Amino acid sequence: MRTVSLRDRKRTRTRQALVDAATDLFESRGYDQTTIAEIAAAAEIGTRTFFSYFASKEDLLFPEADVRVQAGLDAIAARGPEEGPAEVLLRALRQIGEDSDDLSGRLAALRLRLIRTVPAVRGRGLQLQQDAQRQIVRHLAAAFPDQLDEVGAGALTGAFVGAVTGALQVLLGDSDDPIEPAAVQQALEVAVAVALTPWLRHPDHQQ
């Protein structure tokens, strides 16, 4: 097991402090009205140091984008003989929910609102989503060559991403009342299972 160094722990804390500060400021002041300098000051670091953690203000809203992609790639790599590509994606979604509330918590709701209202955030989100889908498609097609070509892998991955996105828009997009992350995660898994039913090996046992 890899030992996490003191430096790594400090970087993790600072990174989370930036995300938390940005979330507070975006909610209280508005996205466009909040500057990087203000976020850095709230996290008690210098503005120049900010850029060693995030490339832009938009990226603060997607702090675990790479982690989610890696969870999908890890699930594909660790596939069992009884699993098809749909089961692998469902397992990845469950793992993401167990490890983090990035798809279901306060930041997720804020991110969804800003994607709808701020073009720069919408553009960054779309870019990250497309990059992630390309990686997942490529790895799925390579892992299941007897079941999927790249077109089929693209359709499956698109159904997966579309189910997650559509469910989050309903769950978090229009309600002012917070929803427990566990309830959001459960609803996401149900929505994805429904969307992936044509690909599931055992659709009656999808939960």
Give me the pLDDT at residue 202, please: 67
Distances (CA, A) of 206 to 87, 90, 165, 197: 8, 9, 19, 8
Greater confidence, 154 or 180? 154
Q: What is the pTM of this model?
A: 0.88
Residue-averaged pLDDT of the chain: 92
**Domain ranges across the chain:** 6-54, 62-205
Domain 62-205 matching CATH 1.10.357: the answer reads yes
> So what CATH class is 6-54?
mainly alpha
Number of residues that this document lists for the chain = 207
Distance of alpha carbon 56 from alpha carbon 60, whole angstroms: 7
More confident residue, 174 or 153: 153
